[in-house]
Amino acid sequence: MPTISAEHVAELRFHANPKYLKLMRCVVKEAIILCGGDVSLADKIVIAVNEACMNIIQHAYNDDSEGEIILEIINNQPNLVFKLTDFAETIDASNVKPRALDDIRPGGLGTHFINELMDEITFTVPDSGVGNLLIMRIKI
């Protein structure tokens, strides 16, 4: 059986400005459907990718909208892979933890959402040695 190589479905480079999140969500949802995911799954994945972008905007770039984010969507059947690269100061991945859900207070839910919705999450440093690379994988 021939091996099917991973296909780069889409790449979006945008400023770390919340006004671009809706555009990003539209791209992600359509890409998932294009790759064979159903709408229900697409809606869930969109939540996770959106929260990951929010974390970059708020925590990596500290709300500096001049920062840049690169989103790559890769179809590697049966998986979809989402790579998010930023150029902020490299973070200590061990500090990225979800909070306890029974602690009812505003904020701190994003990491929980990502962990719940994605099959695999990897924090690393891009090959360039600058910034952060978050790789999220989910089987569709």
Partner 1 sequence: MAKSGADVNYEIEEQGDYLVVHLNGDVDLYSSPHAREVILKCLDRDKHLLIEMSAVVYIDSSGVASLVEGYQISKSKNLQFGLVNVSENAINVLQLAHLDKVFPIHDSIESVVQGGNAG
**Dihedral (C-alpha) 89, 90, 91, 94: value to the nearest 10 degrees?**
-170
Residues touching partner 1, count (CB under 8 A): 26
12 neighbors 27 (Cβ within 8 angstroms): yes
Joined together, the tokens standing for residue 85 give 């690269």
* Of positions 101, 127, 128, 129, contacts partner 1 by CB under 8 A: 101
Contacts of 53 (CB under 8 A, 6+ apart): 21, 24, 69, 71, 84
Binding segment for partner 1 among 17-25, 68-76, 78-86, 124-132 (CB under 8 A)? 17-25
Between 25 and 83, CB nearer to partner 1: 25
* Of positions 57, 121, 133, 138, contacts partner 1 by CB under 8 A: 57
User: H helices of the chain, where?
Assistant: 21-34, 39-55, 110-117
* Of positions 109, 123, 137, 140, contacts partner 1 by CB under 8 A: 109
Q: Does 47 bind partner 1 (CB under 8 A)?
A: yes
Residues that bind partner 1 (CB under 8 A): 18-19, 21-22, 25, 43-44, 47, 50-51, 54, 57-58, 101-102, 104-110, 112-113, 116-117
